[in-house]
Structures are given as C-alpha cells and as structure tokens.
C-alpha cells in the first residue's frame, strides 16, 4: 500500500502505527515467538477496550497496527506492556523510488532549518541504510530549498529528524515516537493476586503486569485504582479473601505495595509467597514510577 503524499506544511495523514519491542528481542527464538504472539493479542485487546477497529501484524522485529483511528491505535500501543515505543507512520513500498518520493512532503510538514535522516533497514534490498539516508536526505534538502528554506544537514544536533524504517515487504516513515511502558507482555508469566488498597498497591500491581504476570485484585479494592489498572490489563476482582482467592485462582504469589518508609498492613498470605516490588525504591524513584504509570506524583 502506497499512501498519497502530504502537501508541504500540511498535517500528515498516517497509515497506521509501527510498534517496537525491546527485551523480547533477546529471548530464545521459541520464547520470543510466544511473547510476540502474546504481544499481538494484548495490542488487539487494548484496541477492543478503545472500541477501535483494525488489525495487528507481526513484521519481523516490529508490529504493524492498522486502522482508521491512528490516535486510538497509538494510545493502545503505549498502554501495552512489552512495547518500548510506537510511532504513527506513512507506509510505502520498500524501494528507493518510493522513499525518495515520500520523504520530502513529510519533512516539510514541520518547521526546521537543521535536519537529519535516521534510516534503518532489515531485508535483502540492493541498497543500504546509508544509501537511504543520502538519497532521501538529498531529496529533502532540494525540496526545502525549493520551498524557500535554508536547510542544513546536522547529524549531531538537528532540529528535526525524519525516521525511515525499511523492512522486507514495506518501509515506514515517521516523525516522532511515543514511549511505551517496556517490560514483557502481560500473561506470559505466572498468575499473581494483588491487594489494591492504595496507590502503592496499585504501583506494585503495575510492576507485576509489566513483568509479564497475569494479575487479579482481591480483598478491599479501591474502585478508582481498579478502573485505572483495568486500562493496563488488570483482571477483574476475584474475591474478598486474599489468600483464598490466590489459592482458588492458582496464583504463584501475592503482590503488596509495602515500602520500607511507608509500611502498610501486609496481606494474610496463608503460607503463600508475598512479593513487595516497591521495597527497593527510594521515595523519589517511586514518585517517578507513579507518574509513569499514570497513578500521579
């Protein structure tokens, strides 16, 4: 699919969202395949939560989300564990001709003087990523001059970067990237029951989701925290008694938000291991993670 070009100065119309993962890539081939498959399913679940239609395709070391609502796709991606970053992209054929044609209109949609082309390639094309940078950069330079600008190539500290990611079957051109939560996909590890009495408990549950666990709350659950974490993939509450719920659900442990400086009443574990992922965080670091998880400062 080759999209229409963006007129200079106009807002780009994107074809979908390109998703990048990190830690998954260092796993063995069998584990990686399983985690990528789960990541795709989790992205689809997040799209369903946002009532946006589309599909997710695995493209080597990337995933390609396509659908009519690019903003909703991007929001789904950055709320899915395992995603390192995601970008709205223009998708074109993986040929030098298509790249040279598509790069200038996208580049001229932003004001800048100093620019750089950041190109990557995965495939057996007859050109290198350096070739892409040179030829696309030349096309952007000429188009900027024709538009009355005074362009300058600056690879060290550019005002603007145009990214080109060439895969075997398609190429993706984008301007920006949104940070994802990282970690590994939820539901690739064991089950954990969490308490959900306060924000510390909620952050502990968020950490366990980020490490790939399937997490369900039990006991006295704060409704606002439950609503927030449901958007991150938390399961529905499974019972009022924490250890009983953990045993019934066949969980491997119970997660709690206890900290060294602000201890709370620990759950009655009934002999089950209790995980305390906030124990190693100082207050400043904990505050940063609170912001990152959307739980506040």
What's residue 124's pLDDT? 87
CATH fold of 191-292 reads Rossmann fold (3.40.50)
Q: What is the pLDDT along the chain (297 residues), one digit of tens a residue?
A: 333 455 555 677 899 999 999 999 999 999 999 999 999 999 999 999 999 999 999 988 899 999 999 999 999 999 999 999 999 999 999 999 999 999 999 999 999 999 999 999 988 899 999 999 999 999 999 999 999 999 999 999 999 999 999 998 899 999 999 999 999 999 999 999 999 999 999 999 999 999 999 999 999 999 999 999 999 999 999 999 999 999 999 999 999 998 887 766 666 677 889 999 999 899 999 999 999 999 986
Residue range(s) occupied by CATH 3.30.2130.30 in the chain: 16-179
Q: What residues does CATH 3.40.50.620 cover in the chain?
A: 191-292
Distances (CA, A) of 116 to 110, 121, 159, 160, 240: 13, 16, 8, 7, 57
**Fold annotation for 16-179:** VC0802-like (3.30.2130)
**Rounded Cα–Cα distance for residues 229 and 105 (Å):** 40
Q: What are phi and psi of 107, to 5 degrees?
A: -60, -40
Q: What is the pLDDT of residue 7?
A: 54
Q: How far apart are CA 215 and CA 235, in angstroms?
A: 6
């Amino acid at each position: 699919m080759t999209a229409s070009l963006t007129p200079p100065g106009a807002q780009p119309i994107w074809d979908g969202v390109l998703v990048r993962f990190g830690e998954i890539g260092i796993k063995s081939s069998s584990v990686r395949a399983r985690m990528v498959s789960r990541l795709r399913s989790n992205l689809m679940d997040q799209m369903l939560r946002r009532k946006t239609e589309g599909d997710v395709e695995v493209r080597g070391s990337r995933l390609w989300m396509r659908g009519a609502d690019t903003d909703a796709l991007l929001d789904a991606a950055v709320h899915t564990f395992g995603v390192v970053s995601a970008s709205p992209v223009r998708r074109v054929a993986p040929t030098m001709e298509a790249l040279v044609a598509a790069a200038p209109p996208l580049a001229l949609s932003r004001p800048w003087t100093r620019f750089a082309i950041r190109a990557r390639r995965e495939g057996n094309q007859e050109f290198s990523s350096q070739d892409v940078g040179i030829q696309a950069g030349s096309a952007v330079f000429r188009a900027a001059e024709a538009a009355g600008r005074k362009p300058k190539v600056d690879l060290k500290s550019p005002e603007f970067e145009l990214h080109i990611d060439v895969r075997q079957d398609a190429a993706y051109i984008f301007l920006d990237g949104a940070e994802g939560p990282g970690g590994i996909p939820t539901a690739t590890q064991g089950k954990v029951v969490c308490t959900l009495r306060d924000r510390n408990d909620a952050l502990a549950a968020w950490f366990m989701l980020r490490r790939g666990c399937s997490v369900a709350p039990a006991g006295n659950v704060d409704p606002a925290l439950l609503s927030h974490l449901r958007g991150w993939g938390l399961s529905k509450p499974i019972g009022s008694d924490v250890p009983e719920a953990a045993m019934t659900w066949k969980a491997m442990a119970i997660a709690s938000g206890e900290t060294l400086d602000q201890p709370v009443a620990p759950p009655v574990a009934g002999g089950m291991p209790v995980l305390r992922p906030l124990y190693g965080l100082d207050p400043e670091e904990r505050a940063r993670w609170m912001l990152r998880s959307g739980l506040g400062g």
